[in-house]
A and B are shown apart, each in its own frame.
Chain A
Amino acid sequence: MSMKHTRTASSVAAIAAGALALTACGAGGGSSAPTGEVDGAIAYGFWGNPSRGEKVNAIADLFEAEYPDASVTGEVADYYSYIERLTVRAAGGDLPCATGTQSTFFAQYADNKVLRPLDDLIESGQIDTSNIPEDVLAAGQIDGTQYMIPTGTFVRLLAYNADMVATAGAEPLTEGMTWEDYATWLRDLQPALPAGVYAAENEGGLMFTFTSWVVGHGAEVFTEDGELGFDKDMLADYFQYWLDLGDDGVIVPPASIPEQNGALELTPMATGSAVAATRDIPHIYINEQALAGAGLPSNIDQVSMPTEDPDQSANILGSNGISIPESCDDIPTAAAWTDFFANDIDAALAFQSDNGIVTNTEAQDALLEDAETPEGVKQNVTILRGLTESGDLTTSRYPAGLNTISNELLRLYQSAAFGEMSVDDAVDAFFVSAEDALR
């Protein structure tokens, strides 16, 4: 028996489930009736901190100068609170007209028809995507339909502290490595490191690293049909790879994984207790700053993720962007804001790639040329440019349920690492949980 609900009932129900122990709620915003003109008052919801909020306000001022009859109100929350509220607000048909989304989670909203396809707005020219590279744009698509306009992008690379490697007298990492090459490099490096310093962080439970592993082995994490695209052996090999490194004492012990997964500035690599780790491009500079601030060797270099096939990049690209919900009743203003945020050069200079490297190539040029652009931002743009020009990038599907699957990967890897489960049992449990999350 299937029970239909009104949106209002769904909203109440979402809150109700937690009523016995927890509560959660979201606040609403409003927008004007559709007119075809850019003259409404809309809200832009995004995650971040007060600093990002100030930058968004600066862009809103520029937007309102361009469109005097329109206005945009920013609604900011930290990442996890934002995700929680997003779902509850979506259930109530209460999403802001411009909703901040990410390639890792927008699929569940698109699948449930919460988000509006943007292709008609692109075709009509209301949203210009001509300066956004195709492979970046693809991170906002499902089956060729655009649901998110990527405005900031991140790519996971293999970063290492070049100063510490040089001090240890080891060779730097090289492009085109396999995973076994990387393991050999770590094992060779470890004996030359000071006590308490590990050759690498422990990434056996990280979904992004596992995604690179799967892609680099010629498979895909999720199929077009929304099923797991790899077999149990591949996951078992991945777990065993990291467990073996752990047994050899060359990666951070599993007990330190909570510290590794905390604030970026407190991670083993950023505190000088690990030499290598995967990092999103924007995080590399933050690591350097943290190390330099502590008076530690701080020069971090990066190479592409290991891959078993030289023709298959394992550098996974992800994007943050803006989506427009079906419930929005001021599409012209929402489209104008999205277009402005993604393409306006002054907006890009004001935002300083605060949430991923700006995707618009002209804006990238402007950032590189502008004297006031921070050095770290220029470094990030330059790294991304190099990857896009060489084509050393790939994308992955991010279906609904990814968050659950990521958490399960970490939990079950830790269970295996602490000897509470065999690798085979952990793999079996992962497949049960993942298939349940994907159904």
Chain B
Amino acid sequence: MTTTIERPLAPAPPDAGRGRARRRRENLAGYAFMTPWLLGFVFIIGGPVLVSLYLSFTDYAVLGEAEWIGAENYVRMFTSDPRFWAALRVTFIYLLVSVPLVQVFALFLATVLNRGIRGLPAYRAVFYVPSLIGGSVAIAILWRFIFESDGLFNNLLGFVGIETSHSWIGTPSTALSTLIVLNVWQFGAAMIIYLAGLKNVPLELYEAAQIDGAGAWRQFRSITLPMLSPVIFFNVLMNVVAAFQAFNSAYVVSNGSGGPADSTLFYTLYLYQRGFVDFDMGYASALGWVLLIISGAVAALLFTLSRRVVYYGDE
């Protein structure tokens, strides 16, 4: 004899139907609010991005028709375009020098400002202002005037007895440095984030460390850095992405040429030249996709490293 055990049905809440209807209405409202963004994403971003993927396999001069050439743009880029490699080199130098310097400056000043000094809001504002205006064309033009042969920087050097007419932006060996300085000057945004992170480090940790006899450096190394590591990771990631996208400063300072002698040829500037000066839009599209892959790979590398060095507190 077999017995059939019937699984009892879960009792339905008396207002389940009404709840589902309400959720559906809420979902519909949510989608309605999202629709403008979704349409914008699909047609203004998603669509063109997909078209650019197609174009990267074509010879397309904007005027006229796109001709399918397979992977020729990519092959040319890696095998017979010295300016592609020059642009990569300049971009990575800029990234590898300026991103760490921004973190060091920002963290140092955030640590100083976190000591409860008087007039903190004023200092915070003063240091933050360059982040707001530093990426503008106006500041890039100002940078030209500061670092050209008879610019402000050489005049300042003259005041301390160093007479020079060196054109810092006109000489290949120093031109990129001026752009790195411009980027480092914009450390304020990172500093504000570090300051917020420092405020969240429990004071008890420092008190316990002091009782154990830890000095300021030891406290910084063993408490501040680990506790701030998620914030450091965030700032580094954001700055790396921004470094890959750097354009304005090099465009203005070099008159759009990336010169002198390609010394300020950021990757995006080269992409712009190929697309909107040479009108080799197929090649420019290929450059764009290679940039996406490179920046994606670097971001993936950072995330992989973060598993080892970033401390999230609950681990």
Contact = CB atoms under 8 A, between A and B. Distances in A.
Interface of A: 1-5, 9-10, 12-22, 24, 80, 84, 87-88, 90-91, 108-109, 112, 114, 196, 253-259, 261-262, 401, 403-404, 407, 410-411, 414-415, 418, 420, 429, 437
Given A3-B65, A16-B47, A21-B245, 6 more contacts: A2-B68, A13-B55, A13-B66, A16-B50, A24-B276, A254-B170
Nearest to A22: B272
B284 interface: yes
Contacts of B170: 254-259
Contacts of A420: 172, 261
B278 A414 contact: no
Interface stretch (B95-103, B129-137, B252-260): B252-260
Nearest to A413: B261
Contact of B68 (A3, A87, A90): A3
B111 interface: no
A20 B279 contact: no
A414 B277 contact: no
Contact of A404 (B50, B277, B289): B277
A26 to B, nearest CB: 12
Contact of B51 (A13, A80, A259): A13
A407 B273 contact: yes
Interface residues of B, number: 57
A87 B62 contact: yes
Interface string B254-298: 111101111000001001110111110110110011011000000
A158 B63 CA distance: 36
Nearest to A421: B261
B128 interface: no
A2 B67 contact: yes
A91 B165 CA distance: 46
A259 B175 CA distance: 13
A1 B70 CA distance: 9
Nearest to A420: B261
Contacts of B285: 16-17, 20
A196 B165 contact: yes
Interface string B65-82: 111100000000000001
A84 B256 CA distance: 13
Contacts of B279: 87, 108
A19 B275 CA distance: 11
Contacts of B65: 2-5, 10
B229 interface: no
22 contacts: A1-B67, A2-B65, A10-B66, A17-B281, A17-B284, A17-B285, A18-B271, A18-B288, A20-B52, A20-B291, A21-B288, A22-B272, A87-B62, A87-B276, A109-B63, A114-B63, A196-B165, A256-B170, A258-B144, A262-B144, A411-B257, A420-B261
B161 interface: no
Contacts of A114: 63
A411 B55 CA distance: 28
A142 B172 CA distance: 40
A16 B254 CA distance: 26
Contact of A21 (B45, B51, B271): B271
B193 interface: no
B123 to A, nearest CB: 35
A262 B150 CA distance: 14
Contacts of B63: 87, 90-91, 108-109, 112, 114
B257 A13 contact: no
B255 A19 contact: no
Contacts of B277: 403-404, 407
B51 to A, nearest CB: 4
A12 B21 CA distance: 41
A12 B247 contact: no
B202 interface: no
